[in-house]
């Protein structure tokens, strides 16, 4: 196993508020590690509305979710935070020495003086296809994400879903290339897609050329033999159920957020949100702070700008845990030579 990472601060969640937390800690010369279950930073802004305009970021009249994320990443660059993506924080335990032991689903372990939970509405998990008996094939013949496309080359694939992931992977596995499958059947519950029109048009062309098949219907059952998934049953809009043999079933129903393990860390919760005070944004466990959509207090508004303010005060409140003997003064980024140094703009 990898050695334990000793650090001053761990941020759980790389949404806009977790990213800005890096900045506010950085100004106080606190280095952070930041973890997200998604494979990329940006939280809801990237996962739910990358191309939609946001109009209420102070002094930014308009920017998209993606632009906001890119700008935050640029703004925090001087602080060299370490990103640990594609892994969920599962364990948070207080140690006898006052530090916290933090562990992720990939086995990355930390010993940290402070924790900033910026988990938003929770970590995004794939929506599951619920068909009796199917669960046990998870990760052998049933997949909700593609990590290594080459693993599916030459196989008989059934792909379920009607969004961009379903269409993009369908095209990837049908067209000539290193991942070309033996056969591909796309299944969606209706003959209409929430995906780029060009991908849908390309998929229809490939169907007309008999390179693949598209079937309108829903998965209603499975067939197994000798411990293997051999076929799925598809019930069409005509009410007829057809049996389709396959090697692998790929399901792309999108992602939905789940508060998940955060609920089990012994923090005071109210309606699945972490209760904090409005001076320090500290939770019921000293040394653990909660900022952004994940927290609650009287008057809370789930807005990005509120999260930014919370991150600033939480950073100041955390400093005494990290530098017990240092007096922390408020300084302006405009005029402070010390801040210019940490920002690298001397």
Nearer to ligand FAD, 45 or 313 (CB): 45
Q: Decide if 114 contacts 291 (C-beta within 8 A).
A: no
- The strand pair at 53-54 and 63-64 is best described as antiparallel
User: What is the residue-wise DSSP string for 113-129?
Assistant: EEEEE--TT-EEEEPPP
Q: Closest residue to ligand FAD, Cβ-based?
A: 120
In the bound complex, what is the minimum distance in angstroms from residue 140's beta carbon to ligand FAD?
25
Among candidate residues 290, 206, 189, 187, the one with its CA nearest the CA of residue 246: 187
Nearer to ligand FAD, 14 or 312 (CB): 14
In the bound complex, what is the minimum distance in angstroms from residue 169's beta carbon to ligand FAD?
21
Distance CA 174, CA 317 (A): 55
Is 140 known as a binding-site position? no
Is 102 known as a binding-site position? no
Is 191 known as a binding-site position? no
Nearer to ligand FAD, 299 or 344 (CB): 299
Is 238 known as a binding-site position? no
Distance CA 275, CA 296 (A): 5
In the bound complex, what is the minimum distance in angstroms from residue 168's beta carbon to ligand FAD?
21
Nearer to ligand FAD, 106 or 202 (CB): 106
In order of 158, 160, 191, 200, 332, the CA distances from 205 in angstroms are: 18, 19, 15, 9, 59
Is 70 known as a binding-site position? no
Residues 6+ apart with CB under 8 A from 42: 14, 15, 16, 19, 50, 65, 66, 68, 69
Distance CA 113, CA 100 (A): 6
Nearer to ligand FAD, 120 or 217 (CB): 120
In the bound complex, what is the minimum distance in angstroms from residue 219's beta carbon to ligand FAD?
27
Binding residues for ligand FAD (CB under 6 A): 12-18, 35-38, 43-45, 48-49, 54, 56, 88-89, 118-124, 260-262, 292-294, 302-305, 307
In the bound complex, what is the minimum distance in angstroms from residue 18's beta carbon to ligand FAD?
5
Is 316 known as a binding-site position? no
Is 168 known as a binding-site position? no
- Residues of the binding site: 36, 44, 49, 89, 124, 293, 334
């Amino acid at each position: 196993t990898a050695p334990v990472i000793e650090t001053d601060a761990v941020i759980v969640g790389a949404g806009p508020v977790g990213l800005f937390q890096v900045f506010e800690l950085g100004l106080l010369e606190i280095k952070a590690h930041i973890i997200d279950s998604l494979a990329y930073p940006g939280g809801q802004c990237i996962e739910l509305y990358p191309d939609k305009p946001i109009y209420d970021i102070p002094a930014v009249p308009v920017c998209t979710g993606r632009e906001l994320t890119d700008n935050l990443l640029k703004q925090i660059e001087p602080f060299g935070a370490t990103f640990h993506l594609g892994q969920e924080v599962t364990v948070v335990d207080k140690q006898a020495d006052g530090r916290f032991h933090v562990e992720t689903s990939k086995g990355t372990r930390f010993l940290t003086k402070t924790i900033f939970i910026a988990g938003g509405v929770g970590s995004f998990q794939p929506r599951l296809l619920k068909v009796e008996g199917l669960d046990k094939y998870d990760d052998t013949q049933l997949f909700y994400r593609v990590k290594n496309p080459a693993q599916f080359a030459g196989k008989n694939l059934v792909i379920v879903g009607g969004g961009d992931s379903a269409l993009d992977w369908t095209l990837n596995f049908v067209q000539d290339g290193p991942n070309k499958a033996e056969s591909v059947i796309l299944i969606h519950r209706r003959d209409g897609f929430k995906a780029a029109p060009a991908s849908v048009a390309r998929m229809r062309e490939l169907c007309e050329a008999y390179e693949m098949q598209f079937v309108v219907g829903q998965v209603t059952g499975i067939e197994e033999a000798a411990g293997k998934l051999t076929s799925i049953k598809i019930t069409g809009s005509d009410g007829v159920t057809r049996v389709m043999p396959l090697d692998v079933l790929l399901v792309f129903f999108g992602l939905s957020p789940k508060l998940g393990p955060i609920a089990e860390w012994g923090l005071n919760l109210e309606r699945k949100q972490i209760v904090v005070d409005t001076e320090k944004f500290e939770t019921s466990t000293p040394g653990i702070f909660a900022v952004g959509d994940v927290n609650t207090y009287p008057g809370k508004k789930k807005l990005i700008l509120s999260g930014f303010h919370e991150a600033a005060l939480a950073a100041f409140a955390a400093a005494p845990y990290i530098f017990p003997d240092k007096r922390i003064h408020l300084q302006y980024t405009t005029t402070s030579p010390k801040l210019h140094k940490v920002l690298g703009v001397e």
